[in-house]
Amino acid sequence: MSMYHEAPVSAGESRVAGPTDSPLRDETIAGLLQAAIAAYGDRDALIFREHGLRLSYAEFGQAVDRLATGLLDLGIGPGDRVGIWSPNRPEWVLTQFATARIGAILVNVNPAYRVGELEYALRHVGVRCLVLADRFKASDYLGMIRQVAPGLDSCRPGALMSERLPDLRIVIRMGDATDIPGILNFAKIAATPADPARLEPISSALRPDDAINIQFTSGTTGLPKGATLSHRNIVNNGHFVTQTMRFTHEDRLCIPVPLYHCFGMVMGVLGSVSKGAAMVFPGEGFDPEQVLKSVADESCTALYGVPTMFASMLDSDDFAKHDLRTLRTGIMAGAPCPIEIMKRVVERMNMDEVTIAYGMTETSPVSFQSHTDDPIDKRVTTVGRIHPHLEVKLTDDDGNTVPVGATGELCTRGYSVMKGYWNEPAKTADAIDDDGWMQTGDLATMDDQGFCNIVGRVKDMLIRGGENIYPREIEEYLFRHPSVQLVQVFGVPDVKYGEEVCAWIVLKPGADADEAEIRDFAKSLMAHYKVPRYVRFKPELPMTVTGKAQKFVMRDAMIEELDLKPAPTA
C-alpha cells in the first residue's frame, strides 16, 4: 500500500487535512545536502550528459563548498539576492546549493525572459549578483544584460554601477571567458579553495524559516511578483513529493524540466537529494530523443515532464529503439493531463507508477499528488490527494466551504505556503488571509475520498504548454506599442499546448500596424510563450455597461472563426 492514504474529507464538506505521521524535516538546504553526503557520499548525485559531468554526492558537496567560498570572497552573504539566468546547466545546481550554504537568496530568472522582464525582476528584488549563461537558443543573455547595464564593458569586476539596476554589483558568466571587463568568470570563482572554517558558522546560524528562494509568478496586476520561499517550504515539499513516489537512494531521476521552475529545482533536485537519489539531466533544453537516450543509458527509474513532453517522446520516430524497462515512476504535471497520454505512458514507457501532481509556486509547489498504487482512473481524472501536513478547502464567493462534489476556489494552508511576495505586503495580504489560507485562484471539486479535480480558474489566467500566462502582463507590454490604443489578451483552445494566446487590439486613430509587427514587438519584450499566436485588429472591443471587457465574447468569436478544438482531457 502507498503512504498517506487516510485523509478523509470533513463531514461532507470539501475540506481535507493531510496525514501527519511522517514528520516535517526541520532543516536547511545545506543540512539536507550534508545528510545526503553522510549517508550516500560515494553514490551518483549529478549527471549532466551534455556537459560530460558526473559527480558523486561527496564530490558535489566539495564543489558546492568551493563555489560558496568564492561567493564569500566577493562579499556575498546571508540575505543578499543572487540571480540565476540560465538553462539546465551544472552551474545552476551548484549555485542553488552554494547560495543556500551561505544564506544568500537565490532568485530564479526565467530563461525565456526578454529585456523588459529581466530589468523588472532584477530591480524589483534588488539582485546584487547575477550568474548567467552566455545564451540559450535565440536568447542572447550577455547582450541583454549589457543593454540594461552598459557599464559592464568598462567597470572593474564586481564594481558595476548601473542607473537602471542600482543594486546590481556583480555579474558572473558561466564558463571561463574573460573578454568583458566588468564580468567575472564562473570557472575561476568555482575553483576557490573551500574554507569550511568560514562556511560552517554561517550555515549553522541559518534557520529553516529563513527566506532562501524567490521565484517570479505573473499576476493580474500585469507585473511579475516574487514569491518568497523558505528552506522549510521547499525542503519538505521536495521530500514529500519523492516520498509519495517511494523514492530511495537506488532511484535515478531523469530531469528534462527547467530548473528555474519548482518542477525542476524543488520536485526534482531537492526531492532527489532528500533521498540520496541520482539526478540525470539530458541537456540544456528539452529534446525528446535526448531524454529517451538518457533514460536508457543511465538506467533511470523515474522521469518528470509536462504532458507535451511525454507526447513528444511517445511520438518520436526512434521511440522503439530505446530500452525503457528500468522506468517505474515519475510525475506528469504543469498542465491538464490528457487521459490518452497517461495511458500510453503507463503502457509503452513502463511507468506503471506514474503520478500526477498539482500545485503553484506560492505553495512550494505541490499540494495534491496521486499515489503509485492509486487506480489508473483516479490518476488520470484527478490530481490525487492532499500532501502531508497541509490543509485544503474549496470555498464559494462568500468564503464558505462547499459540499463534496461542488465547485469552489481551492485554498491551501500549512508549511508549504510562501512567506509572501517580496516587498509587496498588500498583494501578500490579498493572497493569504489572516488564518493562513492561500487563495490559489483555481476552481476545483473534491470527492468523498479526498481526490481533487481542477476544473477551471477564478483568475484570468491561461496555461500554454505548462506555463502559466497572465493576460494583463502581456497587455501591459503591448500597450507600449505606439499604435496601440486598447488591447485585450485571452486564451483560446489549442490541441497541442492546451491553450494559445490571442490578442484583440484597437489601434489609435490614424495609426497603422499589422500582425507581424505586433508579434515582433512582443518578441522583443517578453518570453516566447507569451507572444500572441493570434492577433486581430478591431474597431472596438465588447464591453459591459460598466466598462469591463467581455473576454468570453472575444474567446467565443475566435473559437468560431478558427474552428478551434480543445485538447482532449479526462
Q: What is the pLDDT of residues 34-67, one digit of tens each?
A: 999 999 999 999 999 999 999 999 999 999 999 9
Which secondary-structure segment (H or E) carries 339? helix 339-348
Instruction: Give the global pTM.
Output: 0.84
* Separation CA 245–CA 566 (nearest Å): 31
pLDDT digits (tens, 9 = 90+) for 430-440: 999 999 999 99
Q: Compare 8 and 339 and report the one with higher pLDDT.
A: 339
* Separation CA 174–CA 90 (nearest Å): 10
Phi, psi of 143 (to 5 degrees): -60, -40
Buried b (16+ CB within 10 A) or exposed e, 214-250: bbbbbbeeebbbbbbbbbbbbbbbbbbbbbbbbbebe
> Is residue 22 a contact partner of residue 4, using CB atoms and an 8 Å limit?
yes
Per-residue confidence (pLDDT) for residue 3, from 0 to 100: 46
> Is residue 268 a contact partner of residue 305, using CB atoms and an 8 Å limit?
no
Computed over every residue of the chain, the mean pLDDT equals 92
pLDDT digits (tens, 9 = 90+) for 158-171: 999 999 999 999 99
Q: Which residue has the cell 558595476?
A: 160
Q: Is the pLDDT of residue 565 over 90?
A: no
Q: Which residue has the cell 499546448?
A: 497
Percent helix, strand, coil in the chain, to 5, is: 35, 25, 40
- Any idea what the Cα angle at residue 381 is, between residues 377 and 386, rounded to 5°? 100
pLDDT digits (tens, 9 = 90+) for 510-536: 999 999 999 999 999 999 999 999 999
Superfamily of domain 462-562: ANL, C-terminal domain (3.30.300.30)
Average pLDDT over residues 202-215: 98
Q: Is the pLDDT of residue 188 over 50?
A: yes
pLDDT digits (tens, 9 = 90+) for 8-17: 676 789 999 9
Which secondary-structure segment (H or E) carries 366? strand 366-369
Residue 568, amino acid: P
C-alpha cell at 279: 539526478
Average pLDDT over residues 254-280: 97
Task: With cut-offs at 50, 70 and 90, classify the pLDDT of residue 567.
Answer: low
Phi, psi of 39 (to 5 degrees): -90, -30
> Is residue 418 a contact partner of residue 229, using CB atoms and an 8 Å limit?
yes
pLDDT digits (tens, 9 = 90+) for 115-124: 999 999 999 9
* Sheet hosting strand 408-414, strand order edge to edge: 9-10, 13-17, 390-395, 408-414, 438-446, 452-457
Q: Is the pLDDT of residue 191 over 70?
A: yes
* Separation CA 263–CA 507 (nearest Å): 40
* Separation CA 310–CA 314 (nearest Å): 6
* Sheet hosting strand 329-332, strand order edge to edge: 53-56, 44-48, 278-281, 252-254, 302-305, 329-332, 353-359, 366-369, 385-386
CA distances from 264 to 89, 494, 560 (A): 12, 25, 38
Show the beta-strand stretches assigned E in 209-342.
211-217, 225-230, 252-254, 278-281, 302-305, 329-332
